[in-house]
């Protein structure tokens, strides 16, 4: 059946729509942190639908909230009408944002959220100049692709923006990588100032940045980098947009929002993925002056619909009530410690980085920094055979991405660590005999 479905997929879907594994799987059911495919194989899911199933599978509190809305008979009304769950969720996110006077606009995805934030910033500043980071990814919309600093995910050189890219997000391959944290930040700040003064006219609309670069391989800069950037941006009146699509909702463990590690509150934050635990929802939370700057009419037909906001509200309260941020910090620390200890014995691992349950393992040719996409692909296949699903990313497709549901247990963390340790060692033996 899976072979037939694969053939139909290839005939009906775009050739550029990537599938994992030599033999792609169809996931048909899930419970907790485990999923089952159409052949009856069960896996521990360590990628969670690209960080989206943040709570896990078959969570009664979330499913019940969705069923209640379905049972009402109203699946959709549009933002032309009042939606109680939308208003309540916006109020809750505003409270959690740390902003002085926040307002929230809901979308269907992280891409739409970033498109909206960029529209707001460029309108507010009356400038189409944007600063972004090298190795960044912000979505597949025309504007979002225009500010993506990762050639592997930027399908077009056309853009509605004038974009200048700065150093800082991806330390492992940076020319400043051997500097101390303080000196690294200072060098990146100097680069930022030079980029503003030499490649822009000064009246830049905004900088958009991921606190941890997701598609870029969970590249993690030193704490304080974006706080230092913000001081320079403020001199020029440039707004800071934090792309929290992957780092939001406590996934990094130490903070609820990734940008909080840098001691700064941005003008706007975008969000999506984990908020809906699988439902299609995204949005922007921004200071009211910025959010209200549009003068033309605008709505969102599907954004913030009753089902997505009802389910997201239940997911958010479950996350907060069960301290999943604390669980991410605890088990993420255990995984990072174990992986870093293994990296000292495994030449295939060039770098282990991340925070909480957002961990990147960069694979290289042993003894070098040369990226090894083949190793990443092989480890993923070996892990799948042992019942573990991993993600992959990075500029060169050589970074294993670990981002399980935040309800992960101690036993499951230990199981995953054992499988990753085993499979990276085996892949090193196979590829470098």
DSSP per position, 165-183: EES-S--TTSTTTTS-HHH
- How much is the pTM? 0.97
Biggest CA–CA distance in the chain, Å, is: 65
For residue 98, which of 326, 235, 276, 287 has the smallest C-alpha distance?
A: 287
Residue 418 binned pLDDT confidence (cut-offs 50, 70, 90): very high
For residue 276, which of 144, 116, 86, 91 has the smallest C-alpha distance?
A: 86
Asked if residues 107 and 137 have their Cβ atoms less than 8 Å apart, the reply is no
Whether 296 shows a pLDDT value over 70: the answer reads: yes
Q: What is the pLDDT of residue 432?
A: 83
Whether 2 shows a pLDDT value over 80: the answer reads: no
Asked if residues 221 and 169 have their Cβ atoms less than 8 Å apart, the reply is yes
What integer is the mean pLDDT of 163-168? 97
Q: What is the pLDDT of residue 336?
A: 98
Q: What is the pLDDT of residues 111-131, one digit of tens each?
A: 999 999 999 999 999 999 999
User: Quick one: 21 exposed, middle or buried, by C-beta within 10 A (0-12, 13-18, 19+)?
Assistant: exposed
What integer is the mean pLDDT of 234-245? 98
Q: What is the pLDDT of residue 5?
A: 96
Taken in order of first residue, the domains within the chain and their CATH numbers are 2-59+323-431 (3.90.1150.10), 64-321 (3.40.640.10)
Whether 263 shows a pLDDT value over 80: the answer reads: yes
* CA distances (Å), origin 403, targets 28, 134, 214, 355: 20, 22, 10, 10
CB atoms within 10 A of CB 373: 14
Average pLDDT over the chain, rounded to whole? 97
Whether 244 shows a pLDDT value over 60: the answer reads: yes
What integer is the mean pLDDT of 51-73? 97
């Amino acid at each position: 059946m899976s072979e037939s479905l694969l053939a139909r997929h290839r005939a009906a879907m775009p050739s550029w729509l990537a599938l994992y594994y030599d033999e792609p799987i169809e996931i048909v059911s899930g419970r907790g942190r485990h999923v089952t495919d159409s052949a009856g194989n069960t896996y521990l899911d360590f990628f969670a639908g690209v960080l989206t199933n943040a709570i896990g599978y078959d969570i009664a509190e979330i499913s019940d909230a969705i069923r209640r809305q379905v049972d009402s008979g109203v699946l959709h009304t549009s933002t032309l009408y009042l939606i109680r769950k939308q208003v309540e969720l916006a109020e809750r996110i505003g409270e959690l944002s740390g902003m002085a006077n926040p307002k929230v606009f809901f979308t269907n995805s992280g891409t739409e959220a970033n498109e909206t934030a960029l529209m707001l910033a460029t309108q507010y500043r009356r400038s189409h100049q944007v600063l972004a980071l090298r190795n960044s990814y912000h979505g597949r919309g025309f504007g979002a692709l225009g500010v993506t600093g990762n050639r592997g995910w930027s399908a077009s050189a056309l853009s509605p923006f004038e974009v200048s890219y700065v150093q800082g997000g991806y330390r492992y391959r940076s020319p400043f990588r051997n500097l101390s944290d303080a000196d690294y930040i200072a060098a990146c700040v100097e680069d930022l100032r030079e980029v503003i003064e030499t490649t822009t006219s000064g009246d830049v609309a905004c900088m958009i940045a991921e606190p941890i670069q997701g598609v870029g391989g969970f590249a993690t800069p030193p704490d304080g980098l974006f706080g230092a950037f913000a001081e320079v941006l403020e001199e020029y009146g440039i707004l800071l947009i934090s792309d929290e699509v992957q780092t939001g909702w406590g996934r990094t463990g130490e903070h609820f929002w990734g940008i909080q590690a840098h001691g700064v509150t941005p003008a706007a934050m975008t969000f999506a993925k984990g908020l809906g635990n699988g439902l299609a929802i995204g949005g922007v939370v921004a200071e009211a002056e910025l959010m209200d700057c549009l003068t033309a009419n605008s709505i969102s037909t599907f954004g913030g619909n009753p089902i997505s906001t009802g389910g997201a509200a239940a997911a958010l309260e479950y996350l907060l009530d069960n301290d999943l941020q604390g669980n991410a910090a605890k088990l993420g620390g255990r995984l990072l410690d174990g992986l870093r200890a293994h990296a000292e014995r495994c030449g295939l691992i060039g770098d282990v980085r991340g925070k909480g349950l957002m961990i990147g393992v960069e694979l290289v040719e042993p003894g070098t920094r040369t990226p090894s996409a083949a190793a990443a692909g092989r480890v993923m296949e070996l892990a799948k055979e042992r019942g573990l699903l991993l993600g992959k990313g990075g500029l060169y497709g050589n970074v294993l991405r670990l981002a399980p549901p935040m309800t992960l247990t101690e036993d499951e963390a230990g199981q995953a660590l054992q499988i990753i340790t085993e499979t990276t060692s085996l892949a090193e033996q196979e590829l470098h005999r």
